[in-house]
């Protein structure tokens, strides 16, 4: 259900399912907790509710849990918020763009790609 990318799977704690369920069900009561952090422009708290039609997209909402600092290791409840797919994707989009270059470098360091732009300082 939650969009955990394969390369990040090992970064989540063993009790992530419990934490995630508590945030979504107990704290957020099945509602998206985004209050505009995602930047999609909704006024006040997002109206999306788990299992119901999304107020904007109309597709069924599967509530996820997002990390405010984008670090899966940081599962402090203050760092987590329940988010519908739309808010979660929008919230992470900028971050993904920022880290795309780092990801490519990491892949290159792992031998996946030749190192074109590194090492010129030597
Ligand atoms: Zn939302
Ligand atoms: Zn939002």
Helix (H) or strand (E) holding 36, with range, is none
Give the model's pLDDT for residue 7: 82
Give the model's pLDDT for residue 95: 78
- List beta partners, residue 60: 53
Q: Which residues neighbour ligand 2 (ion) by CB within 5 Å?
A: 34, 38, 46, 87
Give the model's pLDDT for residue 107: 65
Ligand (nearest to CA of 84): 1
**Cα 12 to ligand 1 centre (Å):** 22
Give the model's pLDDT for residue 122: 45
Give the model's pLDDT for residue 115: 46
Structure token digits, residue 88: 């979660």
Ligand (nearest to CA of 55): 1
Along the 122 residues of the chain, how does pLDDT read in single tens digits? 456 788 888 899 999 999 999 999 999 999 999 999 999 999 999 999 999 999 999 999 999 999 999 999 999 999 999 999 999 999 998 777 666 666 666 666 665 544 444 444 44
Q: Which of 81, 79, 92 is nearest to 34 (CA)?
A: 81
Ligand (nearest to CA of 28): 1
**Cα 81 to ligand 2 centre (Å):** 11
**Cα 59 to ligand 1 centre (Å):** 12
């Amino acid at each position: 259900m939650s969009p955990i990318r394969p390369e990040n799977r090992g970064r989540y704690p063993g009790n992530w399912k419990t934490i995630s369920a508590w945030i979504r069900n107990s704290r957020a009561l099945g509602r998206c907790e985004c209050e505009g952090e995602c930047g999609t422009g909704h006024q006040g708290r997002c109206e999306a509710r788990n299992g119901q039609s999304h107020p904007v997209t109309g597709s069924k909402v599967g509530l996820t849990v997002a990390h405010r600092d984008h670090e899966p290791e940081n599962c402090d409840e203050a760092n987590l918020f329940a988010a519908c797919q739309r808010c979660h994707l929008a919230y992470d989009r900028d971050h993904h763009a920022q880290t795309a270059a780092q990801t490519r470098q990491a892949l290159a360091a792992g031998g996946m790609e030749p190192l074109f732009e590194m090492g010129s300082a030597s």
